[in-house]
Amino acid sequence: MRINRKYMLTAILSALLVAAGCDRLEQWFGKNKDGQGFVKEIPAGTDGNSNQVAMLLPDFTRLVDQQGPAVVNIQATRNNRNIDNEAGPDALPDNDPFYEYFKRLLPNVPQTPQANDDEYNFGSGFIISKDGYILTNTHVVNGMNNIKVLLNDKREFQAKLIGADVQSDVALLKISANELPVVELGNPEELKVGEWVAAIGAPFGFDNSVTAGIVSAKGRSLPEENYTPFIQTDVAINPGNSGGPLFNLKGQVVGINSQIYSRSGGFMGISFAIPIDVAMNVAEQLKTSGKVQRGRLGVVIQEVNYNLAKSFGLDKANGALITQVVAGGPAAKAGLLSGDIVQSVNGDELKNSSDLPVKVGLLPPGKQIVLGIWRKGQKEEIRVTLDNVSPAVANPASSASSTIMPTDGTSFAEHRLGLVLRATAQGLIIEDISGLAAQVDLRRGDIIIAVGQKLVHDEKDFDNAVAASGKNVPLLIRRANNTLFIAMMLP
């Protein structure tokens, strides 16, 4: 492997400069309980180079010493089968290239059994109270009736499942013990993209393994995970890490390692953690009532992009655009409309549409909230009393009918927009597209329901609504079982 001498010299100089330190680091990462920082810094602009970037050299040794004892290994089985008697190097096929290596050098490393994998789960967790409450992932223990917890000091306990929430993938366990080491909890809101983080867990059964990386993004919304604003990192997470803690450089837990993005089944540089404030909200409900209740607003939303922001008269693209209001739901009762843009919840600004279900989901049913909305070019406030999320209303968009009921209306062309439309009982169906319409995401068969917040039923309605919109035209369309806004920018 070739080594660039310039980079080597830079690395040596960087190491020598570490001794200088910098008090500013305490403002970013703080200190541990002994008053020592977890990282060292090379300040910017040294050696007369004002363009030099400040470099942080993370030191995880104290973090591991102080917080590692509160991290546990979890082994879960179905039907009370004993993992220890069925695991080990002998569980590997004889022709596996690592068979002899594990056999001779690491004879006690636990291995996932080869057969009936659905009866075994390995994972991690961490202790949040001295009397034995432990957080982990639901998918580690779900469906298992024999859960064993292995502590850092080699003690083993049978754990009781207090409760598990599939939606958030958070589970709460309890072991019979006292005066246990506990983790310190941090505030995920204070995390910054690019900040160092570390994970401790048991990947593939290798307990007390430490991996590190940086925060790649915050507030990630994943499919079917509307209530969790995931922390994305490049920390190496593999099977067995699930349920383990994600630490910041203050030695505080800021998340629970939960998922990875992978095309191969292994780590590919993208992992996701559940913010600890979300997890603790779930854990408290599980501890108190054994179940989790989330507030429901009763709307379908979409992201506000730049063109949509302009079409609705906004200076910047933020908030959540309502595309559908569920009949009889809290939003409908409060008077919210399709085309309203929710910009804040109880005064907290929404940067992205995914922020809305997260903020609402953290509140209990029956809670009254104040929504700051943008409607017809003006800001308004609307009070809404939340109800409870239930499976029957979890996906309101799926209940919308896509059956088209044609009328006797003839087709008409909107040459300026590049559309050929026909009136139906549900709206104006697009029969052909060209010009401007072909440049946006409009398709044949889409049904135009409204222009902005004005419903359109025929050519006259459509012409009047487009004329009133000026050069930025927001079209509300129905496509199959979904409704969405598409902005057309006229020349």
Q: Which is catalytic among the residues 59, 139, 432, 457?
A: 139
**Helix (H) or strand (E) segment spanning residue 489:** strand 482-489
Q: Pseudo-torsion of CA 448, 451, 454, 460, nearest 10°?
A: -80
* Amino acid at the residue 200: I
Which residue type does 480 have? A
- d(Cα 37, Cα 34) in Å, to the nearest integer? 9
Q: Is 242 in the active site?
A: yes
Q: How many residues does the chain have?
A: 491
Q: Is-catalytic flag, 415?
A: no
In a 3-state reduction of DSSP, which class is residue 371? strand
Nearest to 355 by CA among 188, 213, 220, 231: 220
Q: CA separation (Å) from 258 to 138, 166, 213, 230, 453?
A: 9, 12, 16, 9, 40
State how far the Cα of 147 lies from the Cα of 76, in Å rounded to an integer. Answer: 4
Strands 71-77 and 146-150: antiparallel
**Both tokens assigned to 82:** 């004993």
Task: Compute the distance between CA of residue 157 and CA of residue 131 in angstroms, rounded to an integer.
Answer: 13
Query: Catalytic site residue 139?
Result: yes
Residue type (1 letter), 74: I
Whether 272 and 258 have beta carbons less than 8 Å apart is answered as yes
Which of 124, 165, 168, 169 is labelled catalytic? 169
Active-site position among 168, 209, 242, 258: 242
Contact 355, 346 (CB under 8 A): no
For 323-355, letters b (16+ CB in 10 Å) and e give bbbbeebbbbebebbbbbbbbbbeeeebebbbb
DSSP 382-406: EEEE-EE--GGGS-GGGGS-----B
DSSP 290: S
Cβ burial, residue 11 (10 Å; 0-12/13-18/19+): exposed
Is residue 124 within 8 Å of residue 202, measured between CB atoms? yes
Number of separate helices (H) and strands (E) present in the chain: 12, 30
Cα angle value 383/333/355 (rounded, 5°): 55
Of 76, 287, 59, nearest to 170 (Cα)?
Answer: 287
Query: Which residues are tagged catalytic?
Result: 139, 169, 242
